[in-house]
Structure 1
Amino acid sequence: MANREGDYGLIYCKNEPGDYIYHPRLVPLKGINVEVEVSDHVATVTSILQYENNEKSPIEAVFVFPLPGDAAVCHFSAKIGQTEVVAEVKEKQEAREEYDDALSSGQQAYLLEESEESPDVFSMTVGSLPPGESASIRLVYVIELTVEADDGLRFCLPAVLNPRYQPPGGESVSGWSSQQPVCVVYKPYSLSFSARVTSPRPISKVESNCSLDPLQYLNTEQTQATVRLAGSGILQGTFLFAPFRKERLQSDGHKFDRDIELLVYYKDAHQPAAIVEAGKDSAKPGSLMGDPVIMLSLYPEFPEAVMASLAPCGEFLFLVDRSGSMQTSCHGGEGRIGSARDTLLLLLKSLPMGCYFNIFGFGSDYDHIFPASVEYSQSTMDKALKKVKTMSADLGGTEILSPLEHIYKQPCVPNQPRQLFVFTDGEVCNTKEVLDLVRSNASSHRCFTFGIGEGASSALITGMAKQGGGHAQFITGTERLQPKVMQSLRFALQPAVVDISVSWDLPKGMSVTPLSPPITTLFRGQRSLIYAQLTGDASGVSEGSVTVKYSLADQPSQDKLGFSLKPTKDTGLTVHRLGARTLIRSLELEQRDQQGQQDGAEEKKRVVELSIQSGVSSAFTAFIAVNKGSGEAVQGPLIRRDIPVSRAFSDLGDHPVQGRRMMAGPNLACLPCIMIAMVLCWAPMKLYDYIRKCLNRHTDSQEVDCGGEDEAPEEPPQPRLPPIDPLLQVITLQKATGFWTLVPELTAVLGKTHEEFKKSKPLTVTEEVWATILALIWLHGFKMDIQDEWQLLAMKAVSWVRAQKVGCVAECVEAGNALLGCKVQKDDLGL
């Protein structure tokens, strides 16, 4: 078998003798068809990949691609001509050996395996595809949809796989080496994408970060609908970089430069629900696949009186990725690090008085603003903001493990619950090691994570939040980071729920086996999922119930949900597979915990048995299919071909290459030039002239002779700075305790002269009260569409005004409305 240590979603390049440019190996992947079935808040995804070998020799095609980290891959098959071969799940080493044996004997074989380092990376190997032959590969997985800040349900089809940064001396994920050359930018395969949505409740709308055809309802109740990606099925162009080559093929359709996201909105969506799914008829009763499995969706509601009586506090630690990949964005505009700076400003202004905080930056190394967490005050906030303004993506690679270890070694502040906020593009290779560290410290903190940009590792982002008892968010394309961060801050300010327990009320003769790990965190209004296996006979009883009990501020509370014991049939075993995937992940964690004390063999054995029984992938198993066909061996030497998958080219800053020759001939380009070229190919500017300048700038390289004409080096054009957001200007001027002062900077943003503001001020109030009420009126009058971003700092301002015991608030609001041209009511402000 050919070596599987392949390029991570990129093509290798081969230089023929006498050529001056690199030629990519021909790629046999012709197209991908994706069909998504969304049922309420669960999705079944079917991907069909079309391969065709146009070469003169048999090939082995290798495709390394991303999947959501919590997806349950449950089907893998291949169709050659009229013959379909369905893969079986086997222990990974056994599957690899069977694959090798098949290729050695000239048979066609297909292997699908999950990366042992990160569960959101898979590799598919199509072996012994004869010349002129086509193959259709079918891959199916099921996944839960995540709940967004605006109550939408998010589905993401990963289309971008970025290299995962590997610290020096470490072992790479699936053989990825960030030092391998790159010379292909566009991908020569097409994508067709469609989705069908069904729900017990009406579907309000479906949105996407990509262009969609209009939503088509299938019934009058609007509980069924279909939607498809605009331009689906149109072949993408291929752009090969070479010195002084300017042409670029134009094409419509999805460009594989971003993940495909759908946001599904239902009317009255987030209500407690239960699904009981019947087992497989052919499976043994008493087994996971033979018994009914229940999926519970719980949305706890905390008592208003308890929530209102609690003063927010905490130790807030902000860990910000400052690696090179945070410098720019794939879609133009301000870089990711700029968005992170703005978000830190908003967070610092929204923190409650009396809390503690600190800010950490990490890359190849890490730093912090304060040696230890400090109490939140005007002086500490000012010092932190001064540092934040100069923060840049200048710390090299993405090594998150060391700063996490440093944070966890710091003693917690007494009576201040620790809340860790992590901002990263998630390009790390030691995902499981990071998750294990977060999990081992889960009792001392809550972890809130934010995956920034295309290709962020879903396994890392969701895994850290899940193991740390927090909440995960993803920010892609032109989405704003701020509203999602503020939602997580509101979660963090909620008091910790303790003493959580789950009890079942089932008829005699029935028992329950939990498949989900114990619930450790509850947030008001957020979904909690529970999977469980139901064993036994209901004896004519048709109803059961589950009760979740917990304590909040020493006050016991509970939520109860009833469900039918009549299982739903013909559902495709979606709930069973999601339950199996949940249990597999828990067992894999136990296996890693045991490795330090034993060899973890027993846990690994249980994972393999469960994976084979359920047909769901795991870190220790793989899908293997062998097509014996007519029994005739494929003739000729087997050639390996690596399939490209898209990556966010701005992320190249994390992966420097030193002393690596890329081209041969009189006009040569070193890798920095090619890296620049790949970024520029997305920008509307002339590549030709810019590369000529780059070639001249790199003539001092000892490893690469860049050549070029004798012209003076020129600096690249400086990007235009984005205009300063008026909202951020107003927020910047707010003091830590919540008030504003009547300074010219504030009056300029509000659109009047300083004299006009002073002249309109009621005589009986101070300038600080007047400025604060004006700022509140401006926020409510002009920025209500993004209220989630400034709501917490406005609450601080309202509390401060109330503390001043102002007797003429109504007069101030009336005067402020007249001055700013607004119609905001006093009650709207909370005064």
Structure 2
Amino acid sequence: MCFNRRRIPKHLLLQPSPPHRPTRRIWTWVLGSLVVLLTIAAAEIARADVNPEEASAGSLLVKTASGYRAALHHHSEAQVTIKGMLARVVLRQTFENVTDDWVEGVYVFPLPEDAAINRMVLEIGERRIVADIKEKQEAQRIYDQAKREGKRAALTRQERPNLFTQAIANIGPKEKVIIELQYHELVTYRNQTFSWRLPTTLTPRYIPGVMKQDADTQVSLETNSGWGWAQPTDQVPDAHRITPFVHPAPQPDTNNIAINISLDAGVPLAQIRGAYHELSIYKLGNGHQITPTQKHIPMDRDFEMQWHTVAGKAPDAAFFTEHIDGEDYALLMVLPTQQEQAGATLPREVIFIIDTSGSMGGVSIEQAKASLQLALSRLADKDRFNVIEFNSFHQALFSRPVPADANALQQARSFVQRLNADGGTEMAPALDEALRYPAAEGYLKQVIFITDGSVGNETSLFELIHQQLGDARLFTVGIGSAPNSYFMTKAAEFGRGTFTFIGAQTEVAEKMQSLFTKLESPVMSDIEVNWPVPVEAWPARIPDLYQGEPLLVSAKVSGTWPNRGVIDVRGQQAGKSWSRKLAVANTSSDAASHSGIGVRWAEQKIAALLDEKVRGRPEAEVRDAVLEVALQHQLMSPYTSFVAVEETPSRPQDQALEQAPVPNLLPQGQQAAPLMYPRTATPLLLNWLLGSCALLALLALRRFGSREVHHD
């Protein structure tokens, strides 16, 4: 008898002998059970799916003369005022109950990750109820009590810095309610270009981990049944709160938004343009009024507006102040002068990580592959590199980084060209692989991470980056029409790098060129800001700056600012010292013209406090510190929520209250898995069956994988 013997990898030969394996009888029982459970699960799925022809009042979809709609119809309007580098946004969300039932609506929606939300109003007809800011558990208790008593109520809570939940209780049949949110933020200023961005939908997040079965989780699921398509896991215990359904059959009027922008740039402008939408622009005095040419645009991708200054007129320094309740707040912006690299640059060891998970399907994977191919073309002969792709699993092209010679680069290009998007988004093993080893002596290690960031376990990934970064720098490249910008920006921040956003195939060359310039240019480091008076400034430790990026510092001023105070900024770049002195007048002299500076400072302090959790500070301490700032400044945070309650009950106690989640639109260019579509119910039996099937399948795969290695 002859056997074709297979080469066994060396690392497997060094493993100890396999442990005792279960008998054939046990595995026959396991596989038989798996078949039975899969059969039952398939029946449950068929029973749970919504058939649009059977949808009626009380379902997530209802049949109308024009097609199928969510039980709650939603559209939004954003009124945006931009003055200099500050943006104030008033977002009005209208919810219309198209059914004959009393409903509780829940809408999970994105906002910019640095949005400082400081006002919420519930509007019912002519009545406007201004919300109170409360500690999160207290706000939830007030809302739940009002819901039981039949009172109209609204609750706005933060799930992630860029993801929020709007709950509205006791919306009457055919009734319309409006939620008004106000927030402040900074516009982005890079490479002498300003931009403002509004996310309108979200890429469905991947939820890693094992499903939780404890009593507290079951109580939470019963309370929030049907809000999300995922179940809590040990890694993402709030998975059901961050996985809103997507609309399976949107109509032209489904989830639209109108955007009206008043822009006072403060400098002469050469161009105003929309990155992904056509704009109508009207000059009014020293400012501009801007709207999308299509009055109501679908909420299926981020909206971004850019404005460019006239040549030679781009600001390189600015100082804004605000006086609130006897306190002075300031915002400093300085754009350092770029210096040439002194002497020869260090060779680089570049690790490319590319996300090939299912959420990257469609145009996203093509953008990612094009970006990576361009990045490979910029490697120099003296550089070393590797490519790691990941989905449910990860694989590296080479076992360790190799010299960037012609042969290795050709292998890499072929490897990238063959990549397809499928499977889960298990980021941690790929990041661990990239960061595990320090660079070879004499090399500068850079990690370029290309992904849409659609994960629910952001904090654990930040901890991994913080713990394993060493001397490396991590640069994130956000891909797609609605990436998780919170993960991308914060991962780059912990990685001491930068975030680049690519929202369309036409942007790949321009955006990657900008990133290459940063990677190949000297960094401004050891930055210090010396103030003429005591201040509490954030960030407390100023990060390194890359070419084209401004220094931004928010400060709370103590004491009296001198009539002609001088701010001294210093740093090191390309082995040379750099400094800049700015003479500024008394901070309260033009307070009325720069609203939003105070809440910007508070939002920056809260963000810094939350980062301390990643660095190991006990959460109880962080929570107390955040609560103090958030309640004083009336700001939304992970520990505070806005709640508004109408005093008089509206829903008769003999009338039931139906749940009506508002589905999001799927990001442009993506395809959703069936489980992300809304259903009439999500049976707990089905969830248990699917979890059991996954567990048994894993055991079976491990069994047969073991047999393949040890018996060939």
- TM-score between the two structures when normalised by the length of structure 2: 0.78
2:347 corresponds to 1:326: no
Counterpart code for 1:86: V
User: 1:296-334 deviations in whole A, cap 9, x for unaligned?
Assistant: 111111333xx25342522111111111232312xxxxx
Counterpart code for 2:126: Q
- 2:335 counterpart residue number: 299
CA positional deviation for 1:525:
2.9
- 2:135 counterpart residue number: 91
- 1:128 counterpart residue number: 170
Match of 2:287 among 221, 224, 230: 224
CA positional deviation for 1:154:
2.0
Match of 2:254 among 177, 188, 193: 188
Report the Cα distance in structure 1 between the residues aligned to 2:134 and 2:609, rounded to whole angstroms: 17
Summarize the Cα distance change of 1:644–1:179 in structure 2 as closer, same or farther, 3 Å threshold. Answer: closer
Residues 730-745 of structure 1 correspond to what in structure 2 (within 5 A)? none
Q: For the Cα contact (< 8 Å) 1:274–1:563, is it kept in 2?
A: no
Higher relative contact order (CA 8 A, sep 6+): 2
Summarize the Cα distance change of 1:146–1:213 in structure 2 as closer, same or farther, 3 Å threshold. Answer: closer
User: 1:429-458 deviations in whole A, cap 9, x for unaligned?
Assistant: 112222233233455222211111111001
- 2:661 counterpart residue number: 642
Q: For the Cα contact (< 8 Å) 2:339–2:573, is it kept in 1?
A: no
- Aligned residue for 2:128, secondary structure, equals strand
Summarize the Cα distance change of 1:578–1:479 in structure 2 as closer, same or farther, 3 Å threshold. Answer: farther
- 2:379 counterpart residue number: 351
- 2:604 counterpart residue number: 582
2:106 corresponds to 1:62: yes
Counterpart code for 1:75: R
Match of 1:372 among 393, 397, 400: 400
- 1:105 counterpart residue number: 149
User: 1:627-684 deviations in whole A, cap 9, x for unaligned?
Assistant: 21x466654221111112212265446x5769x99899xxxxxxxxxxxxxxxxxxxx
Match of 2:517 among 485, 490, 497: 490
Q: For the Cα contact (< 8 Å) 1:469–1:521, is it kept in 2?
A: yes
Report the Cα distance in structure 2 between the residues aligned to 1:147 and 1:400, rounded to whole angstroms: 30
Summarize the Cα distance change of 1:107–1:300 in structure 2 as closer, same or farther, 3 Å threshold. Answer: same
User: Gapped runs of 5+ residues in structure 2?
Assistant: 1-47, 63-69, 211-232, 682-712
Summarize the Cα distance change of 1:256–1:85 in structure 2 as closer, same or farther, 3 Å threshold. Answer: same
- 2:463 counterpart residue number: 436
Residues 781-800 of structure 1 correspond to what in structure 2 (within 5 A)? none
Report the Cα distance in structure 2 between the residues aligned to 1:358 and 1:414, rounded to whole angstroms: 17
Residues 183-262 of structure 1 correspond to what in structure 2 (within 5 A)? 183-186=248-251, 188-219=254-285, 223-232=286-295, 253-262=296-305
Q: For the Cα contact (< 8 Å) 2:76–2:92, is it kept in 1?
A: yes
- 2:421 counterpart residue number: 393
CA positional deviation for 1:404:
0.8
- Aligned residue for 1:520, secondary structure, equals coil
- 2:220 counterpart residue number: none
Q: For the Cα contact (< 8 Å) 1:591–1:601, is it kept in 2?
A: no
- Aligned residue for 1:523, secondary structure, equals coil
Counterpart code for 2:330: I
Q: For the Cα contact (< 8 Å) 2:394–2:430, is it kept in 1?
A: yes
CA positional deviation for 1:421:
0.8
Match of 1:528 among 540, 546, 551: 551
Report the Cα distance in structure 1 between the residues aligned to 2:152 and 2:305, rounded to whole angstroms: 36
Summarize the Cα distance change of 1:560–1:649 in structure 2 as closer, same or farther, 3 Å threshold. Answer: same
CA positional deviation for 1:576:
1.1
CA positional deviation for 1:23:
6.9
- More displaced, 119-128 or 129-138? 129-138
- 1:142 counterpart residue number: 184
Report the Cα distance in structure 2 between the residues aligned to 1:83 and 1:179, rounded to whole angstroms: 29
- Aligned residue for 1:551, secondary structure, equals strand
Report the Cα distance in structure 2 between the residues aligned to 1:123 and 1:109, rounded to whole angstroms: 14
Counterpart code for 1:440: Q
User: 1:359-406 deviations in whole A, cap 9, x for unaligned?
Assistant: 111111111111111222223223322322322224x11221221122
2:612 corresponds to 1:562: no
CA positional deviation for 1:148:
4.9
- 2:66 counterpart residue number: none
Counterpart code for 1:570: A
Counterpart code for 1:411: P
Counterpart code for 1:225: H
- 1:52 counterpart residue number: 96
- Aligned residue for 1:388, secondary structure, equals helix
Summarize the Cα distance change of 1:611–1:180 in structure 2 as closer, same or farther, 3 Å threshold. Answer: closer
CA positional deviation for 1:269:
5.6
- 1:549 counterpart residue number: 570
2:81 corresponds to 1:37: yes
Summarize the Cα distance change of 1:572–1:344 in structure 2 as closer, same or farther, 3 Å threshold. Answer: closer
Q: For the Cα contact (< 8 Å) 2:333–2:550, is it kept in 1?
A: yes
- Aligned residue for 2:615, secondary structure, equals helix
Report the Cα distance in structure 1 between the residues aligned to 2:414 and 2:294, rounded to whole angstroms: 47
Counterpart code for 1:60: E
CA positional deviation for 1:182:
6.1
CA positional deviation for 1:102:
1.5
- Aligned residue for 1:594, secondary structure, equals coil
2:205 corresponds to 1:164: yes
Q: Which has the greater radius of gyration?
A: 1
Report the Cα distance in structure 1 between the residues aligned to 2:530 and 2:678, rounded to whole angstroms: 64
- Aligned residue for 2:196, secondary structure, equals strand
- Aligned residue for 2:280, secondary structure, equals coil
Q: For the Cα contact (< 8 Å) 1:35–1:47, is it kept in 2?
A: yes
Residues 331-730 of structure 1 correspond to what in structure 2 (within 5 A)? 336-394=364-422, 396-504=423-531, 506=532, 510-538=533-561, 541-567=562-588, 568-571=590-593, 573-594=595-616, 599-628=618-647, 630=648, 634-635=652-653, 636-648=655-667, 650-652=669-671, 655=673
Summarize the Cα distance change of 1:345–1:491 in structure 2 as closer, same or farther, 3 Å threshold. Answer: same
Report the Cα distance in structure 1 between the residues aligned to 2:241 and 2:639, rounded to whole angstroms: 20
Counterpart code for 1:557: W
Summarize the Cα distance change of 1:163–1:342 in structure 2 as closer, same or farther, 3 Å threshold. Answer: closer
- Aligned residue for 1:292, secondary structure, equals strand
- 1:313 counterpart residue number: 347
Report the Cα distance in structure 2 between the residues aligned to 1:619 and 1:141, rounded to whole angstroms: 16
Counterpart code for 1:226: Q
- 1:792 counterpart residue number: none
Report the Cα distance in structure 2 between the residues aligned to 1:571 and 1:91, rounded to whole angstroms: 32
User: 1:109-165 deviations in whole A, cap 9, x for unaligned?
Assistant: 1100110xx32111100111233433221111122222355x322212112212101
Counterpart code for 1:642: P
Q: For the Cα contact (< 8 Å) 1:276–1:292, is it kept in 2?
A: no
Q: For the Cα contact (< 8 Å) 1:361–1:367, is it kept in 2?
A: yes
CA positional deviation for 1:545:
2.5
Q: For the Cα contact (< 8 Å) 1:163–1:176, is it kept in 2?
A: no
Summarize the Cα distance change of 1:487–1:86 in structure 2 as closer, same or farther, 3 Å threshold. Answer: same
Summarize the Cα distance change of 1:661–1:262 in structure 2 as closer, same or farther, 3 Å threshold. Answer: closer
Summarize the Cα distance change of 1:602–1:104 in structure 2 as closer, same or farther, 3 Å threshold. Answer: same
- 2:61 counterpart residue number: 24
Summarize the Cα distance change of 1:553–1:650 in structure 2 as closer, same or farther, 3 Å threshold. Answer: closer
Q: For the Cα contact (< 8 Å) 1:112–1:624, is it kept in 2?
A: yes
- Aligned residue for 1:570, secondary structure, equals helix
User: Gapped runs of 5+ residues in structure 1?
Assistant: 1-11, 233-252, 282-289, 330-335, 665-831
Counterpart code for 1:127: A
What RMSD, in angstroms, separates the aligned Cα atoms of the two structures? 2.9
- 1:81 counterpart residue number: 125
